[in-house]
Structure 1
Amino acid sequence: MTTQEELQNTINDMVDNTRGILAADESNPTIAKRFDSIGVESTENNRRDYREILLTTEGLGDYISGIILFEETLAQKDDQGTLLPELAVQQRIVPGIKVDKGTGALPGAPGDKITYGLDGLADRLSGYKSQGARFAKWREVYPISHHNPSVLGLSANAEMLARYAAVCQEVGVVPIVEPEVLMDGEHDINRCAQVTEQVLHAVFEALVRHGVALELMLLKPNMVLPGKACLTQASSKEVATKTLRVLRRCVPAAVPSINFLSGGMSPEQATENLNALNQLATSPPWQLSISYGRALQQPALQAWQGDNRNRAATQAALLKRARLNSLAHQGQYRTDME
């Protein structure tokens, strides 16, 4: 099988008109914060137990086509000795891997960030692939202020995403390209739309420059939303209208699927906004789906409470949110389904 055939098979297994991606790739510091919220210590065993519960949710593969994992999870096993990624495969869920190494300040661009992790990426990807990962994810973040993102911030972050994506495709791993315009701040929805458009233009220019095959990648962007501290929040219809306008201006039709991140949205808000997008879009060239982390996991985490006796309730909470987002992907969600 050629590398291109490998990539195409992964796209075929991950992209359809009902399913989305579950992001369960929290780094150890991030999942520690999640566990702190329910008073649970972030030990290796607790992380394994929680993620094993998610992966063994019966029927999850009806609504989820891919799962992004953290490096630690690739090598963990359940009590029967089955590798956790294999549990995903048993449900027709493609395992993937977060490969970036976190963010830091971008020199020469005060307020902007840059993501680390390109050094040795090809070797790491080959190792992850041997452990069952068929796709990868890399995130660049864009804070909004009066002067951010800067021209340097836009170009440097786009360059990192494009270099990462090119390396992925070279070794037969589908890249998820994640440029996240952050919700933090007082900016209104129009400012978010302006920045998101600038970001996506820069990203796709860089992807084309680096020879990335757009048909063999996935895009994981933010929705166009006002900042969390903005006094005027937006309806789901307004979010959908402004998001679609930006996507139509910036995202080539060759991209097979746009899988939105949930950012700081509540589980209900994230589902309602996705539904509005799919109701408003008229025969879009891409699937409009999810790659949600907190918006899928938060109810499950609250149900779990670090007690494996709550397994059934945890899985029911996850399955409900996955099912509702599948309906939203089809534009068939209603708030009374909550």
Structure 2
Amino acid sequence: MASQAQKDMLEKVKTKPGFIAALDQSGGSTPKALKLYGVSESEYANDDEMFAKVHEMRTRIITSNAFNGDRILGAILFENTLDREINGKSSAHYLWQEKQVVPFLKVDKGLAEDVNGVQLMKPMPGLDTLLEKANGQDVFGTKMRSVIKLANPQGIKDVVGQQFEVAKQILAAGLVPIIEPEVDINSPEKAEAEALLRDELLAHLDGLDSEQLVMLKLTLPNEDDFYKVCVDHKNVLKVVALSGGYNRQDANDKLSKNHGMIASFSRALTEGVSAQQSEAEFEAMLNDAIESIYQASKS
């Protein structure tokens, strides 16, 4: 049974403009995220200290005046952040109660080895327990990522099949899954992979019950409005775009040509902010980033 907060979040995601901040760098991607923020590996000795440093970074972003529900619909966290507090509240409760930003939780455990030109998600044996924890903190939805490198029909079929199988488990727990089959922006077969992916996504979306709503997180496509048919699908709450390694300017330019898609940027959101900036410099840089992404998401 959805909480009142989760019902209010659904209404917000359905009706309000804005984008989703991807603040869910975990294990392997954390050192790189910290380095881009100006925190070198010499400043932490182990994983605990590393995660404390990245939580400081996220807290600085989330508590800034620029970061609020007027322009930001939601934020994706990972489990370590869910277990921590921001200004005396659990991170998820702080996002919603103080900022009116809808919390999502990254639930995947990383990528398996490359098979058939794709990387499936590793098994998630503790998923039900994690979903229970998420519900306890009024988290609205989840996110899970696979990667497609080549236009291999079997590989792409496997990726989408796995994503929807897990999505149904998440839906059964009362949460909204963000399905993320990322197409590598450097793939030599990117356009062909996108065509196969779209067909698979539509086949699985058509198989959902009318009340089963999902979100899709997709690489910005080679062809403008390529995923418009997914944006308009009755079972799709939102289609969000990942920046995938594009810089913010390029990601915004591409996003603005894909009508109905909104951003869910990670590196492109935090590009240019650093630990060394004064509060005024940090606020100004983050505000400019948020505004540019918000405008690109309104197209």
Task: Look up the equivalent residue of 1:315 and give its one-letter code.
Answer: E
1:228 corresponding residue in structure 2: none
1:40 corresponding residue in structure 2: 40
Aligned partners of 1:275 and 1:113: how far apart in 2?
29
* 1:130 corresponds to 2:136: yes
Aligned counterpart in structure 2 of residue 327 of structure 1, from 274, 284, 295: 295
Matches within 5 A, 1:112-261: 112-144=118-150, 149-185=151-187, 187=188, 191-209=189-207, 211=208, 213=210, 216-225=213-222, 242-244=223-225, 246-248=226-228, 252-254=232-234, 255-261=236-242
Shift of 1:213: 5.0
Task: Look up the equivalent residue of 2:154 and give its one-letter code.
Answer: L
User: Any gaps of 5 or more consecutive residues in structure 1?
Assistant: 226-241, 279-286, 332-338
| CA contact 1:260–1:289 (8 Å) conserved in 2 | yes
| CA contact 2:170–2:176 (8 Å) conserved in 1 | yes
Shift of 1:118: 3.4
Shift of 1:131: 2.7
Aligned partners of 1:23 and 1:317: how far apart in 2?
17
User: Residues 6-46 of structure 1: CA distance to partner in whole angstroms, max 9, x if unpaired?
Assistant: 87643322244530100000012201112234343352321
Aligned counterpart in structure 1 of residue 284 of structure 2, from 316, 330, 338: 316
Structure of greater Rg: 1
TM-score, normalised by the number of residues in structure 2: 0.86
* 1:87 corresponds to 2:68: no
Matches within 5 A, 1:296-315: 296-300=269-273, 303-305=274-276, 310-315=278-283
| CA contact 1:6–1:172 (8 Å) conserved in 2 | no
Tell me the secondary structure at the aligned position of residue 171 of structure 2: helix
> Matched residue pairs, number?
288
Shift of 1:206: 2.9
* 1:270 corresponds to 2:251: yes
Task: Look up the equivalent residue of 1:27 and give its one-letter code.
Answer: S
Shift of 1:256: 3.0
4+ runs of 1 displaced by more than 4 Å? 2-9, 212-215, 249-252
The 3 A distance-change label for structure 1 pair 182 and 151 is same
Aligned partners of 2:3 and 2:136: how far apart in 1?
17
User: Residues 97-135 of structure 1: CA distance to partner in whole angstroms, max 9, x if unpaired?
Assistant: 00011112255x3x3311114323222211122133211
Shift of 1:173: 0.7
User: Residues 62-107 of structure 1: CA distance to partner in whole angstroms, max 9, x if unpaired?
Assistant: 11010000111112123x4232223311110011100011112255
The 3 A distance-change label for structure 1 pair 46 and 66 is same
User: Any gaps of 5 or more consecutive residues in structure 2?
Assistant: 45-49
| Cα RMSD, aligned residues only | 2.5
Task: Look up the equivalent residue of 2:149 and give its one-letter code.
Answer: P
TM-score, normalised by the number of residues in structure 1: 0.77
Shift of 1:243: 3.1
Aligned partners of 1:213 and 1:138: how far apart in 2?
22
Tell me the secondary structure at the aligned position of residue 139 of structure 2: coil
Tell me the secondary structure at the aligned position of residue 118 of structure 1: coil
| CA contact 1:75–1:131 (8 Å) conserved in 2 | no
2:47 corresponding residue in structure 1: none
Shift of 1:168: 1.2
Using the aligned pairs only, state the percent identity.
23
Aligned partners of 2:3 and 2:89: how far apart in 1?
30
Tell me the secondary structure at the aligned position of residue 264 of structure 2: strand
Tell me the secondary structure at the aligned position of residue 272 of structure 2: helix
Tell me the secondary structure at the aligned position of residue 321 of structure 1: helix
